[in-house]
Structure 1
C-alpha cells in the first residue's frame, strides 16, 4: 500500500480508496451467501483430514510404504501453509471475491487430478497443487462472511463459520473411512467436485458486485522465495524427523539450519520491503499476537491429539477406519448446539472468559483420556469425545474475535491469513511432535515392561504353555506376548501425551489473559478497539 500524506500518495496522484463498505446482505441473499461460504470452508477443512484414515489403502493400492503414503497428507499441508499468508497480498492484487472463486475452481480441478493419479509421485504433485490453490479460501470465507452481516451480528457470523471448521475435521475421518472401506479412496477427492462448483457459482452470483478494490502491487519475489524456503524446509524436517532419527541425521540438521536462516532473512526482508508479501506489522497489535499465539499453540496440541487417538484405536485396539471415525464423530454434537449461543454472547461477554472455558474443558477431556487402559470400552472412549464438543464451541469464536479485534475491514484478509497460517503450521508441528513422542515413550515403556518379565516365572511359563497348547509354536507364542506388551506400552505412552497436553491447556489460559479487553461496538467481533 502506498504511503499517504494528508490522504494523498507521496507523489502527486491521490491514493486509491482502501476499502468500500458494502451494506450487509439480507433475507434469502444472506442465507444463500452464508451457505456458499460455509460449503467452501467445509470442503477445504474436510480435505485436510479426510485422507488421514485412508493412508493404508492409498499406500497399498499404489505400492508404497505407509511412511511414503503420509506424504499425501504432508504435501498438502506444506503447500497450504505457504499459500495462506499470501492471502492479503493476493486479495489486493485480484480482489476478494475473484480470488475466492478462482481458488475454489482450481481446487476442484486439483481434486479431480488427485482422484485420477496413477502413482504416488503424481498424487503428491496434485496434492501440492491442491494445497497451494486452497490457501486463500478459509481466510477469505471469514472476511466475506463478516462483510455480509451487520457489525452487531459479527459474533453470529463467526459462530456460523466456526461450526463448519469444527464439524469438518470430525467428519473427515468418518467420511474418509467409510468411502475407503466401501467405495474407493479416489472418491475422497471426487466428492469435492460438486461441492466446489455449487459454492463457487453461488458466491460469484451473490458477491461479484461486492468485490474489494484491486491494487496492482509489484510481486515481492524475494519475500515469496524466502517464505517457500523456510516453510518448506521446516515442514519437511517435521515430516522426515521421526523416520531419520531427528538430529542424528545430517539431512535433518541441514533442513533445520535452512529453516532458521530462511526465517531470519524472511523477517528482515518483509519488515523493510515496501510491498511485503506478508504484513508482519500486524504483530505490533497486542491482541493480534496474543490471540494468534493462544489459538496456534492450543490448536497444535488439539490437532496432535486428534491424530493420535485414531492411530491408537486402529493400530492397538482393533478398530477399523470407519469405527475410528465413528468414535470421533460425536464431538460435533455439542459444538453445533453451543456455537450459536457463543456467537450471540461474544459482544456481551469478554472473549478471554469464553476462551478460558474452552481451555479448561480441553484440559478436563485430555485428563479423562489419560486414564484410559487397554480394556476401555466404546462408552468410556466416547464420553470425553462428547464433552470435547463443549470445548470446541468455545474455542474458535472468542479467539478469532480477539485476534481480529480493532482491525479495519481491509486488514482482515491479511490478518486472517497470517493467523490461519500460524494455526495450521502449529497443527503440523503438533502432529509430528505427538506421533514422535508416542513412539519414543512407547519404546521406553516397552523396555521397562520387558525388564520385569522372567522367562522362568510360573505366569510366563503358563502363558507360553497355553499358547503352545492352542497350536502356536514357541516363536509365535513369544510374538503374541510381545504384541500384548506393545499394546500396553503404546497405551501408557498415549496416556503420557494426553496428560501433558492437559497441563499445556492450563498454561495457555495465561496467554489468553495477556490480551487487552475487547471493547466491542454493538457486539462486533472485528470492529473492537483496544488491540494495540
Structure 2
C-alpha cells in the first residue's frame, strides 16, 4: 500500500458529510445484519401459519440465513482486497436490502427460504466491513470511539430483534420484519458511499481459492445444519445428524490441510500467529457463546413457562441495551488511558455477577427482579466488544484488518450457534432430570399434595384437571431449576474465561511506547 493510498484510505469523510452521520450509517449497517439473525425467531409460528406449514418447517427460515451467513463471512478478506472495502460494504448493503425486500414479498416457504439464503450470503461483509470503515473513519487515537459505535449496535441488536419481531408479528403483518430494512438499507448505502467513496482502499487481483471455498461451504453448512437441527433430531440418535457431523469433521480437517498449503487461501490462517488475535478471539467466542446462550434461554423460558408473550419477554432485556449504549462512550473515552486487558477482565467479572444474580430467580419474581441482573449485564456489554476487539486487532497490519475482522466474526457466529444448541439441550435435559426427582419426592398421599388437590377441587376442578395443574406446576419448577443451573454454570465460566485475557500482550492503545510484535 503506497503512502498516498494509505492516507486516502483513512481520515475524515468527504466534505459535506459530517463524520457522525457516516458513523451512524455504518452502525446502521451492522445493526440491520445482526438484527436479522434474531428478529424472525419469535415470529416463526406466525410465518409458518400464514404460509401453511408447521412451525418445525418454519425454523428453516432461521437456519437458512445462519448457514449462508456463516459461509460468507470468512470470504470478507478476499472480497475487500479484490474490490476495496468501501465498494464491497456498499454492494453488500444494497444486495442485503434487495434480499430483504424479496423476503417481504415471498409467496411460499420455499421462496422465503431461498431469499433468506440470499440475504445471509450477501450480508457476510457487512459486519467486518463496517468495523474496518469505522476504524478508518476515526483517527488512531479515537479507535476506542470507533469500536464503541460498532459494539453498541452488535450487542444491542440481538436484544432488539425479539422485541421488534414480536411487536410487528403481534400488531402488523410478519412481512414487515423484512421490509423495514429497505429504507434503512438505502439510507446506509447512500451515506456510506457519499462519505467514503474517496477513501477507497487499494485493490489487487488475487486468485480465487475455489477448492478452499468449496470445502468451506461443505463443512460450515454441515456443521450449521447439525447444530440447528440436532436437538429436534435427538442428536446422534439420528443417522442424519451423524452424517452431518462426519461431513463437518472430515470437511474441516481437509479444509485446514488445503488452506495451509495455499499461497492465496480463502481464509488467512496466518493471523493466528499473532498471540493477541488468537487468545483474544478465543476469549471473544467463549464469552459471546455464554452471552448468546443466555439471550436465547431467558425469553424462551419466560414465554414457555411464565406466561410472558414475545413482546414482554423481549422487553425484559431492553434496559441492558440502554445501559450499554449510555456507558459505551465513556468506556471509549478512557480505554486508551489504561491497560485494555483490565477493561476486558472487568467485563467478564460483571457478566459473571449478572449470571449469579439470575441464578437466584424465582418463578413468582417481580418484573423488576428480572430486570436488575440485566442492568448489570448492560455494564458488561458496554465494555465487552470494545475491549476484546482492541486486543484482537492489536498488531494486525491495516491491510489485514478486514480479514481479521471477518475471521473473528465468523468464529463468533459459529460459537453462538453452537452455544444456542448446547443451552437449549442442557435446559431440556436438566429439566427432565429435575422433574423426575421432584416426582419421586411427591406422592398423592403427601399432606401438601392432598391439600393442594383439595384447594383445586374447591375451585371447581375435577380430579384429572387438578392433576394436570399440579403436573404443570411440577414442570414449571423443573424448568426453573434447570435455568438456574445454567446461570450458575455461566457465571463460573465467565470468571474462568477472564483468565485467558492475561495471556495476551498489553495492547498499544494510546500509549506512546512501542510494543514488540510476536
Q: Normalising by structure 2, what TM-score?
A: 0.96
- Cα shift at 1:440: 0.4
Counterpart among 71, 74, 90 of residue 79 in structure 2: 90
In 2, Cα distance between equivalents of 1:489 and 1:97:
52
- Cα shift at 1:507: 0.8
Q: Are 1:312 and 2:293 counterparts?
A: no
In 2, Cα distance between equivalents of 1:83 and 1:406:
25
Q: Are 1:162 and 2:148 counterparts?
A: no
Counterpart among 291, 294, 299 of residue 283 in structure 2: 294
Give the conservation status (yes or no) of the 8 Å contact 2:128–2:402.
yes
Give the conservation status (yes or no) of the 8 Å contact 1:342–1:393.
yes
The answer for unaligned runs of 5 or more in structure 2 is: none
Q: Are 1:361 and 2:350 counterparts?
A: yes
Counterpart among 25, 30, 33 of residue 12 in structure 2: 25
Give the conservation status (yes or no) of the 8 Å contact 2:337–2:510.
no
**Superimposed CA distance per residue, residues 308-358 of structure 1 (whole angstroms, 9 cap, x where no aligned partner):** 000011111100111111111000122112111111222221111100000
Which runs of structure 2 are paired with 1:324-473 in the superposition (5 Å)? 324-473=313-462
The answer for unaligned runs of 5 or more in structure 1 is: 1-14
In 2, Cα distance between equivalents of 1:520 and 1:487:
49
Give the conservation status (yes or no) of the 8 Å contact 1:155–1:343.
yes
In 2, Cα distance between equivalents of 1:93 and 1:523:
34
Query: The residue matched to 2:260 in structure 1 has which SS?
Result: helix
- Cα shift at 1:62: 2.5
**Partner of residue 495, structure 1:** 484
In 2, Cα distance between equivalents of 1:59 and 1:502:
36
- Cα shift at 1:384: 0.6
In 2, Cα distance between equivalents of 1:485 and 1:112:
45
Give the conservation status (yes or no) of the 8 Å contact 1:516–1:531.
no
Q: Are 1:59 and 2:48 counterparts?
A: yes
Q: Are 1:238 and 2:227 counterparts?
A: yes
In 2, Cα distance between equivalents of 1:529 and 1:157:
22
- Cα shift at 1:78: 1.3
Give the conservation status (yes or no) of the 8 Å contact 2:347–2:379.
yes
Counterpart among 509, 512, 517 of residue 520 in structure 1: 509
CA spacing shift, 1:51–1:531, aligned 2, 3 Å: farther
- Cα shift at 1:458: 3.4
In 1, Cα distance between equivalents of 2:46 and 2:317:
20
**Partner of residue 135, structure 1:** 124
In 1, Cα distance between equivalents of 2:91 and 2:146:
23
- Cα shift at 1:58: 1.9
Query: The residue matched to 1:212 in structure 2 has which SS?
Result: coil
Q: Normalising by structure 1, what TM-score?
A: 0.93
Counterpart among 72, 92, 98 of residue 109 in structure 1: 98
Q: Are 1:78 and 2:56 counterparts?
A: no
CA spacing shift, 1:317–1:154, aligned 2, 3 Å: same
**Superimposed CA distance per residue, residues 256-297 of structure 1 (whole angstroms, 9 cap, x where no aligned partner):** 111111111111111111211110100011000011000011
In 2, Cα distance between equivalents of 1:317 and 1:233:
35
**Superimposed CA distance per residue, residues 375-434 of structure 1 (whole angstroms, 9 cap, x where no aligned partner):** 111010010111111000110001001000011211100000000001111111111100
In 1, Cα distance between equivalents of 2:314 and 2:130:
27
> What root-mean-square deviation, in Å, do the aligned CA atoms of Structure 1 and Structure 2 show?
1.9
Give the conservation status (yes or no) of the 8 Å contact 2:320–2:374.
yes
Q: How many residues align?
A: 515
CA spacing shift, 1:480–1:441, aligned 2, 3 Å: same
**Partner of residue 42, structure 1:** 31
Which runs of structure 2 are paired with 1:118-267 in the superposition (5 Å)? 118-267=107-256
Give the conservation status (yes or no) of the 8 Å contact 1:163–1:335.
yes
